[in-house]
Amino acid sequence: MNIKLQLIDRAYNVLNFDNQASELVYALGEHMQANDEEAIYYGFKLALEHIEQYPEVIQPTLYMTMEAVKQRCRQIVNRGEYDAVNAVSLATNHLFNIIQRRKRQT
């Protein structure tokens, strides 16, 4: 199965995450730099795993949720896990860029 579809399916299976899952669908459809694409997908995958384990990090928007996940990951990072934190940060930055583009278009 395609990685995008796996992420979308996983997001819609998280309890109380429907609005954020819809935002994820939009974010995955937006343009990504080719060299960042795999890391962004990995960041979303790791964030979804974290959200499934710790549903208390769920916020009203996907961006706010990703920021909460990023903060938690930074607090519990162990050696060798910096790639994971970087991937979550890259996915969060991708969302931020989408928000900025939306604001400029309106």
Where residue 84 falls among pLDDT bands split at 50, 70, 90?
confident
Percent above pLDDT 90 for the chain: 71
DSSP 57-84: G--SSHHHHHHHHHHHHHHH--TT-HHH
Confirm whether pTM is higher than 0.85: yes
Amino acid (1-letter code) at residue 11: A
- Contact between 43 and 73 (Cβ < 8 Å): no
Q: What pLDDT is attached to residue 13?
A: 95
Structure tokens at 93: 């930055």
Confidence of residue 96 (pLDDT cuts 50, 70, 90): very high
The crossing angle, in degrees rounded to 10, of helices 62-76 and 37-53 is 80
CB burial of 67-77 (b: ≥16 within 10 Å; e: otherwise) equals bbbbebbeeee
Exposed/middle/buried for 52, CB within 10 Å: 0-12, 13-18, 19+? middle
Count of structural domains, the chain: 1
Q: Measure the CA angle with vertex 26, ends 25 and 27; round to 5°.
A: 95
Which range of residues forms the domain containing residue 87?
A: 3-105
Average pLDDT on 69-94 reads: 83
